[in-house]
Amino acid sequence: MVKISESAKEELKKPLGSVCASIACALELAKGRRIISVGDVCTLALLDAGIIPHLAVFDFLFMRHTLGEDGKAKLRTQYPRPRTYDNPAGTVSDKLITDATALIEKGGAVLIIGEEDLTALAFMLVAGKRDIIIYGQPNEGLVIVVPDKETKKKAAKFLSSI
């Protein structure tokens, strides 16, 4: 289990990609790519826009509060058999890091027991050129992360910041 340091957590409060205030902006930047969405609200916004993420990562929580029943039902309907991973708050599980490549290749959904926020780092580390990671930035919008060399370097740095 990789526990993210307090200084890295502070640094991670800043977006790791382009911030889009609207779903239309996010979809424009994601055009032609496989979408990996991290977060319940992010995934639901994409689904509401008619976009089904190739891989969706969620924990049935929003800002540490339980997601409403409508949101849970929509995620359960779209992704009836998510793979489940334990991932305590402030960490990224070793199993998730190990499985990230296979999860991206297979697609579908990952239900996190714990907290999904930092799991985006595991996917940034291994995502390919045709992938894009989208996650929510509270009170700002959606963050679009292109998994280029610089992003992978940053993800590796954060994942080694024990």
Mean pLDDT of the chain: 92
CA distances from 40 to 24, 29, 80, 95 (A): 18, 20, 15, 21
Tens digit of each residue's pLDDT (9 = 90 or more) over 45-61: 999 999 999 999 999 99
The residue extents of the domains of the chain are: 2-159
Residue 162 pLDDT > 50, yes or no? no
Residue 42 pLDDT > 50, yes or no? yes
Task: Say if CB 143 and CB 15 are below 8 A apart.
Answer: yes
3-class DSSP state of 146:
coil
Tens digit of each residue's pLDDT (9 = 90 or more) over 81-108: 999 999 998 899 999 999 999 999 999 9
> What's the pTM?
0.93
Angle at which helix 40-48 crosses helix 23-30, to 10 degrees, equals 90
